[in-house]
Amino acid sequence: MFHVKFSLFSQTKSLENKIDLFHDKIIDVAMTFKKAVRVFLAEKRSEEYRKLSKQIKQIEHDADGLRRDIESKLYAQNLIPDLRADVLELVENLDKIINRFDEVSYKFYIERPDFPPEYHMRMTELCEQVADCTENMAIASRAFFRDFSTVRDYSQKVYFIEHETDLTSGRMKEAIFDSDMPLANKIHLCNIISEVADIADIAEDCIDELLIFTIKRDI
Amino acid sequence: MDLSYFIFLSSGLFLGWSLGANDAANIFGTAVGTKMVKFRTAAIIASVFIIIGAVFAGGGTSKTLDELGSVNALPGAFMVALSAALAVYWMVNSSLPVSTTQAIVGSIVGWNFYSGYETDYAILSKIVSTWIICPILSGGIAIALYYLVRLIIKHSKMHLIRQDLYTRIGLILVGAFGAYALGANNIANVMGVFVDSSPFAPLNIGRFVLSGPQILFLLGGIAISVGVFTYSHKIIRTIGSGVMSMSPMIAWIVVVSQSLVLFIFASQGLQNLLSSNGLPTLPLVPVSSSQAVIGAVMGIGIAKGGRGIRWSILCRIALGWITTPAISALICFISLFFLENVFNLTVYR
């Protein structure tokens, strides 16, 4: 009997840890991406960038493992029956953000976009905004599990930063198309900028859903 | 004691079976419906605690029903229980809200009318007042618990997964308490009218001694348990879709409120404690668990701002307070006439 009780508590603790770890991975990937782009802009496809890109791939791989674990445990142990579908959707969406970071960093590696030095500062700013947006999204999602009354506070930050991201990416695209670089280059850079800015859009979509889930989470 | 006793007792056992089938759903319905607790686990816990509650704490409410009308002949008791069962069956079939408690009270009053024994209106009004108090009290407890639980969740910052574990444990514990309270409170409906004609002698089981009425309550408790095992799953499945929208935490609050109300109206210990401290006591009266549940759900609806409350349900309950005992009394009166004049059985002494 006591064994069953302790086993139940330890299983619960283990799943809580996995969910926390999964959120850590989102923050990790955002921070690493920010650093990777800064390195790319300074050194192009250097060894340092390759390492950071690999690191992002590893985080994505670990997050996938955690996601699968969380999902199977929720079903196998028949946990939170009323909110399980919401939690699964949330975890899936968060995983999409991590995947997108991986895809974009790989795109930088493969396509080697050629950003002229005058755009470096704005590109760094855009990546910082995207990372900040994602970080706040992760904090909001973590709050959903522990302290759902604060989800709204972080959501507002995500909305604000996402809007800033749109402005930054818009200004960059405008400046690029006003420049004298070849059209192919312009389109290439704009595509990359859109890919980066899209990450903030996905975070915003996640927050929209999270706010609905939070209403359901309240008893 | 001959076989005829068990034939007469069968109506009470049938009433017990239907009570188990219907009212167990009030205790474990949401827990099983939302898959928080397995049906088998729920049924075992409910059965064990219903029997414990019935045998060891069922005396108080039975005494009150006995004060309303001492059905002193076995065929009379048979017909009182059967009339209540028929009234419940007919009303359930007609989709009218029904309470076994109100049906049995109507039957007893019907027997009083037929036999010429005077109905104690003081006791009757005491019983009827509890029908009104029961959903209101349950609603009040549910509102208080709702705010308390919200406050705890907000300040404890408990992880959702841990909260789920505690809710699961809470549903099982409160389900056991609810089953105990149901057994203690509602056994009077099932076996109360047979107490005066009980042929059972005290039974020694090791260090325990079961009195005659307790043996009767044990049989009633077993009948309720059979109802839980054989039919309550179907009821749970039927009402499951209706209560699924309720979160497990709300379900917990509803079951706690309902169980507390049933316990308050059944506990002799609580009555002694209140009276020894000079506090006003509550009568020991069987109350409707379904109406306690409706009261609790309404209470939570009010706490959430009153949206989505179907006030027509309250009107239907109030209508049930009059129609159920009236129909039951009428069936009992007519059936007693047939039993006495067609079958030549003594229905009262």
Q: Where residue A92 falls among pLDDT bands split at 50, 70, 90?
A: very high
Q: What is the pLDDT of residues B80-93, one digit of tens each?
A: 999 998 888 887 77
User: Does residue A178 sit within a domain?
Assistant: yes
Asked if A149 lies within 8 A of B250 by C-beta distance, the reply is no
- Per residue in B49-66, pLDDT tens? 999 999 999 888 888 888
Task: Give residue B21's pLDDT.
Answer: 84
Span A101-145, pLDDT tens digits: 999 999 999 999 999 999 999 999 999 999 999 999 999 999 999
Q: Which residues of A touch B153 (CB under 8 A)?
A: 219
Q: Quote the CA–CA distance of A95 and B231 in Å, as a whole number.
A: 45
| Residue A134 counted as domain residue | yes
CA distance A206 to chain B (A): 19
Give the rounded percent of residues in chain B with a pLDDT score beyond 90: 38
Which residues in chain B have Cβ-Cβ distances shorter than 8 Å to A149?
154
Which residues of chain A lie closer than 8 angstroms to B154, CB-CB?
149
Q: Note whether A80 contacts B164, CB cutoff 8 Å.
A: yes
Cβ-defined contact of B159 to A146 (cutoff 8 Å): yes
- In sequence order, which residues have a C-beta less than 8 Å from that of residue A60 and are 6 or more positions away? A29, A98, A99, A101, A102
Is residue B111 in some structural domain?
yes
With contacts defined as CB-CB under 8 Å, which chain A residues touch B36? 81
**A72-83 average pLDDT score:** 87
B39 vs chain A: nearest CA distance in angstroms? 14
Is residue B128 within 8 A of residue B326, CB to CB? The reply is no
Write out the residue range of the structural domain in which residue B234 sits. 3-341
**Separation in Å, CA of A147 to nearest CA in chain B:** 5
Least confident of A145-154, B32-41, B126-135, B293-302: B32-41
The reported pLDDT for the residue numbered B245 is 62
The beta-carbon neighbor of B161 closest among A80, A82, A149 is A80
- B348 in a structural domain: no
Residue A2 counted as domain residue: no
- Please report whether residue A106 resides in a domain: yes
Across the interface, whether the CB atoms of A15 and B157 are under 8 A apart is answered no
Band of pLDDT at residue B73, cut at 50, 70 and 90 = confident
Q: Is A83 on the interface with B (CB under 8 A)?
A: yes
Residue B7 CB neighbours (<10 A)? 12
Say what the pLDDT of residue B244 is: 42
Predicted pLDDT at B1: 59
pLDDT at B209: 86
Give the integer Cα–Cα distance in Å for A139 and A130.
14
In this prediction, residue B99 carries a pLDDT of 83
CA distance A146 to chain B (A): 4
Which residue of A15, A80, A219 is in closest CB contact with B150?
A219
Q: Tokens 């840890």, residue? A: A17
In this structure, the dihedral spanned by the alpha carbons of residues B164, B165, B168 and B174, taken in order and rounded to 10 degrees, is -110
Q: How many structural domains comprise chain B?
A: 1
pLDDT in tens, B179-195: 999 999 999 989 988 98
Q: Which two tokens stand for residue B2?
A: 């001959």
User: Residue A3 domain-assigned?
Assistant: no
Chain-centroid distance, C-alpha A120: 22
Which spans in B192-231 are helix H? 212-230
Q: Do A9 and B160 touch (CB under 8 A)?
A: no
Predicted local distance difference test score (pLDDT) of residue B238: 61
Domain count along chain A? 1
Contact B35 A87 (CB under 8 A): no
Nearest to B154 among A9, A83, A149 (CB): A149
Nearest to B182 by CA among B61, B324, B273, B318: B61
Residue B239 inside a domain? The answer is: yes
Any idea what the CATH number is for the domain that residue A131 is in? Answer: 1.20.58.220
d(CA A216, CA A210): 10
* Residues of chain B contacting A15 with CB distance shorter than 8 Å: 161
Is B160 within 8 Å of A144 when comparing Cβ atoms?
Answer: yes
Angle at B107 between CA B103 and CA B110, to 5 degrees: 140
pLDDT above 90 (res B96): no
CA distances from A6 to A1, A11, A19, A74, B165 (A): 9, 8, 20, 18, 12
Provide, as residue numbers in chain B, all residues whose Cβ is less than 8 Å from the Cβ of A9: 165
